[in-house]
Chains A and B, each alone.
Chain A
């Protein structure tokens, strides 16, 4: 048993050790005062005997809050892809004992990723400064994602080749269709003011992969057309993406078990 003064004299590390040994639940970033309060409160409830936790190396005790993970992971996982989003949100609340993942990082950021030759994924966030400067909190402002094809021109300013996607007000990510494979794209998000597009954030540029055999022939390594066709065929050019990936095989071998709770093997 400690009194308040004794506790005050201790360092935060010592307080955490005391809290742990008494199985007191606290946030990892808890301040000294919080820990003192929690310890005093726990001592007041002396009827509840401290549970001795199995000691581990260097007297580091297992935090009770972490044991929640056992409940989480043994739950039969039956999520279908469509439900996962929802489930993820739920998960965020349950599993993070030491602070939730931030919703955003307070920066101006627009990132463009390639999913396949026809599809990309963009996510973004605005800094408070940008939100204020452009009045983006105003619900009447309609945001657009402008996707530029900069293959020939190399930069946005010169490119007249673009497509606009009208964004939902509260969205922070979007799946984008690329017009053509094997092109270079860059995106901006902004709004229209007096008929003019005002960009607020710009993305990285991406070169989308090709979806066919190149037309460029290497003169030094040329062979006749007939032979080349046969080589391509032997290489599987006509059956690409048609054979099963490892995922399909594993599902098959696992008997398509939905109720399996563990060891869904991974690639």
Chain B
């Protein structure tokens, strides 16, 4: 019987934000919100599917910076404090909403938050890596990597060493967390430039992804469109994003997440309730922030928001999951008439779409996996499984592309953020210069400075800063992050140039910017461009 495959890919990433120098730091909340709304619920979905013995396959990117945050003790403990406060608030909310339309929703929050605590503390011992690793070891999910700090590689490509470092650090960090090497990569922002595959190959990476036009505009006409991988000249495989499945979820106008029954993102008691009540649960100094307690449904455009009804939303999720599966089945039926092999449909999404933005998203994934497990012609697959089945593929190099708005680099290089590249490039050049010059040093202090320079540069390279500057929210923070990490880098560089190390300064930023404890500045040396890991 003819059939086809769905490769569902969830790309999980957050920039490395960790501020030990403050008791409370607003932007750290992005991580805590992600844990409560996306990462813990996703793990719980995997857990439910696993205990119900439903076979499924999900491909997940866990970006190295996110892995470093998952495993960071400071953030873990701060999260527990945060969670305890929210559980306390949920009890207050049950009292407050008694005899109102919001009562059921407040009960839901209370039970979900308690479950969250139980999963985080008791099931996974405060480190969600344990959870993801568990399901990877069961071969239900497959974890791939992404640039060490999610650098926009085509725009950082001032020298190969810089690109090598983003990949080398990522691959080694993956090993640290998962005790094996990654086979695939979701390159940050799905960005590709011709030649990137050389670096991938050197680090044992067998496949990566591009957006639809990356495949369609390949060097030679791709016989199967985006429904089969291509090989680059060097044998690394590349898969392309499917437009149809993407649109069903991503589209602001037609996509599932905008359904009237789903929970509204905006109305939050952090903004709506009086300060004397909500004060203890928002940012000190009474700065209003999202608490996650939201009681309305999307309802519709230009109408008064109506109360959320968890049951209606749950029913809608089931309908949407069935619809998504049905559409893939139809797609496959059609493709079976065109192709002389089984098609693969690659559907990548930001993981945080599920839960953080689309509150019901994790449940959608649960229902979808369940639906597909009963399908006649559709199965879930990972790229390695597909390549094993179809090892012979067309050789054609993909086209430069990203999955950003308009398909190229307009989001990451425009009047709001173009100024960062001058600094990022110059620091890359300086980093390579110093690494080559001092590669044989045995002076511990010099090594520490070089390693810290690598950390500062990597954090500054995060593509999110340029993205935030372009979108216009929390711009000041993104600007400050680039400024701070670049100036720290330059300070360290000058210490080496002037042979004037400042231990105190070094200790301070080793304490603040702790990412990649294992880092080795040699990843920037010319020698490492020749090294192979596997």
Q: Which of B166-174, B272-280, B501-509, B524-532 contacts A (4 or more CB under 8 A)?
A: B501-509
Assembled-state Cα–Cα distance A46/B516 (Å): 43
Q: Which residues 68-108 in A have Cβ within 8 Å of B in the complex?
A: 69-70, 72-75, 77-82, 84-85, 87-88, 91-92, 95-96, 98-102, 104-105, 107
Question: Do the beta carbons of A249 and B357 come within 8 Å of each other?
Answer: yes
Chain B proximity of A227: nearest CB distance (Å): 6
The segment from B83-91, B210-218, B314-322 found at the interface with A is: B210-218
Does residue A201 face the partner (Cβ distance < 8 Å to B)?
Answer: no
Contact B405 A245 (CB under 8 A): yes
**Alpha-carbon distance A120/B258, docked complex (angstroms):** 36
Q: Which residue of A lies closest to B352 (CB)?
A: A265
Among the listed B250, B463, B474, B508, which residue makes an inter-chain contact with A77, where contact means beta carbons less than 8 Å apart? Answer: B474
The answer to whether A231 touches B224, judged by C-beta atoms less than 8 angstroms apart, is yes
Residue picked from B243, B357, B473, most chain A C-beta under 10 Å: B473
Verify A69–B480 contact, CB threshold 8 A: yes
CB-based contact A84/B416 at 8 Å: yes
Nearest residue, chain A, Cβ from B393? A221
Task: Say yes or no: A74-B491 contact (C-beta < 8 A), given A12-B502, A115-B408, A116-B408.
Answer: no
Given contacts A95-B483, A111-B421, contact A116 B410 (CB under 8 A): yes
Q: Does B29 lie within 8 Å of A218, measured CB to CB?
A: no
Q: Which residue of A lies closest to B462 (CB)?
A: A266
A158-202 to B contact mask, C-beta < 8 Å, 1/0 = 000000000000000100000000000000000000000000000
Using a CB-CB cutoff of 8 Å, which residues 352-409 of chain B contact chain A? 352-353, 356-358, 394-396, 399-401, 403-409
Q: Which residues of A contact B29 (CB under 8 A)?
A: 262-263
Residues of B with C-beta under 8 A to A243: 243, 246-247, 250-251
User: Contacts A77-B472, A216-B220, A252-B252: A96 and B401 contacting too (C-beta < 8 A)?
Assistant: no
The distance from the CB of A251 to the nearest CB of chain B, in whole angstroms, is 7
10 closest A-B pairs by CB? A236-B243, A264-B473, A235-B225, A255-B266, A252-B252, A116-B408, A209-B400, A84-B416, A221-B223, A245-B405
Interface size on B, residues (CB 8 A): 120
Cα-based distance from A197 to B283 in the complex (angstroms): 60
Of A101, A104, A214, the contact of B483 (CB 8 Å cutoff): A101
Q: Do residues B243 and A241 form an inter-chain contact, with CB atoms below 8 A? A: no
Scoring B213, B247, B338, B511 by chain A CB atoms within 10 A of each residue's CB, the highest score goes to B213
CB distance from A181 to the nearest CB of B (A): 9
Residues of B within 8 A of A45 (CB): none
Say yes or no for B311: interface residue by CB 8 A criterion.
no
Residues of B within 8 A of A99 (CB): 487, 490-491
Report the Cα distance A220→B486, complex, angstroms.
Answer: 50
B175 contacts chain A at the CB level, 8 A cutoff = no
* B484→A95 contact, CB < 8 A: yes
A1 in contact (CB, < 8 A): no
Give me the interface of A with B, judged by CB distance under 8 Å: 12-13, 16-17, 28-29, 54, 56-58, 60, 62, 66, 69-70, 72-75, 77-82, 84-85, 87-88, 91-92, 95-96, 98-102, 104-105, 107, 111, 113-117, 119, 121, 123, 125, 173, 207, 209-218, 220-223, 227-228, 230-232, 234-237, 239-241, 243-255, 257, 260-267
Query: Does A231 lie within 8 Å of B338, measured CB to CB?
Result: yes
- Taking a contact as CB atoms under 8 Å apart, the answer to whether B401 and A209 are in contact is yes
Taken together as a complex, chains A and B put the C-alpha atoms of A12 and B338 apart, in Å, by: 74
| 12 pairs, A vs B, C-beta closer than 8 Å | A57-B511, A72-B477, A77-B473, A79-B472, A81-B414, A81-B470, A98-B491, A101-B483, A214-B220, A249-B255, A254-B357, A264-B471
Please determine whether B483 and A81 come into contact, CB atoms closer than 8 angstroms.
Answer: no
Q: Which residues of B contact A227 (CB under 8 A)?
A: 338
Q: How far is the CB of A13 from chain B (nearest CB, A)?
A: 4
Tell me which residues across on chain B come within 8 A of A77, comparing CB atoms: 472-476
Q: Report the minimum CB–CB distance from A233 to chain B (whole Å).
A: 9
Closest beta carbon of chain B to A191's beta carbon, Å: 22
Residue numbers in A under 8 Å from B464 (CB-CB): 266-267
Cα–Cα distance between A262 and B288 once the two chains are bound (Å)? 9
Q: Mark B242-264, 1 if CB is under 8 A from A, else 0.
A: 11101100111101011000001
11 further contact pairs, Cβ within 8 A, besides A113-B409, A234-B331 = A73-B26, A77-B474, A99-B487, A104-B422, A228-B221, A231-B225, A235-B243, A236-B216, A247-B471, A248-B252, A261-B289
Q: Are B473 and A267 in contact (CB under 8 A)?
A: no
- Contact present for B475 and A84 (CB under 8 Å): yes
A213 vs B213: C-alpha distance in the bound complex, in angstroms? 8
B27 within 8 A of A: yes
| B257/A85 in contact, CB under 8 A | no
Given contacts A114-B409, A234-B338, A263-B30, contact A246 B353 (CB under 8 A): yes
Contacts A58-B507, A95-B479, A221-B394 given; indicate if A213 touches B357 (C-beta within 8 A): no
User: How far apart are the CA atoms of A246 and B411 in the complex, in Å?
Assistant: 12
Identify which of B27, B244, B353, B463 contacts A262 (C-beta below 8 A). Answer: B27
Quick check: is B306 within 8 A (CB to CB) of the other chain? no
The smallest beta-carbon distance between B465 and chain A, in angstroms, is 9
Report whether B287 and A74 are in contact in the complex, using a CB–CB cutoff of 8 Å. Answer: yes
Query: In the complex, which residues 297-323 of chain B have their Cβ closer than 8 Å to any Cβ of chain A?
Result: none
Are A240 and B213 also in contact (CB < 8 A) when A80-B472, A121-B418 are? yes
Residues in A whose Cβ lies below 8 Å from that of B505:
16, 28
Which residues, 10 to 31 on B, are CB-close (under 8 Å) to A? 14-15, 20-23, 26-27, 29-30
Query: Which chain A positions have C-beta within 8 A of B177?
Result: none
Residue among A29, A58, A72, A247 making CB contact with B511, cutoff 8 Å: A58
In the complex the two chains form, is A13's CB within 8 Å of B502's CB? yes
Tell me the minimal C-beta distance from B97 to chain A in angstroms: 22
The 8 A CB mask of B406-439 against A (1 = contact, 0 = none) is 1111110111111101110110000000000000
With a CB–CB cut-off of 8 A, which chain B residues contact A236?
212, 216, 226, 242-244
For A95, the chain B residues whose CB sits under 8 A away are 476, 479-480, 483-484
- A99 to B26 alpha-carbon distance, docked (Å): 24
When chains A and B are docked, how far (Å) is the Cα of A12 from the Cα of B502? 8
Residues on B with beta carbons closer than 8 Å to the beta carbon of A88? 416, 419, 469, 479
Residue of B nearest to A215 (CB): B221
Closest to B257 in A: A253
A58 to chain B: which residues have CB within 8 Å?
Answer: 507, 511
The 8 A CB mask of B430-453 against A (1 = contact, 0 = none) is: 000000000000000000000000
B483 with A209: CB separation less than 8 A: no
Give the complex CA separation of A216 and B219 in angstroms. Answer: 7
Closest Cβ–Cβ distance, residue A168 to chain B (whole Å): 15
Would you call A213 and B217 a contact (CB within 8 A)? yes
Beta-carbon contact of B408 and A73 below 8 Å: no
Distance in angstroms from A240 CB to nearest chain B CB is: 5
Task: Across the interface, name the chain B residue whose C-beta is closest to A100.
Answer: B487
The answer to whether B265 and A253 have CB atoms under 8 Å apart is yes
Partner among B218, B357, B490 whose Cβ is within 8 Å of the Cβ of A265: B357
| Chain B neighbourhood of A104, CB < 8 A | 422
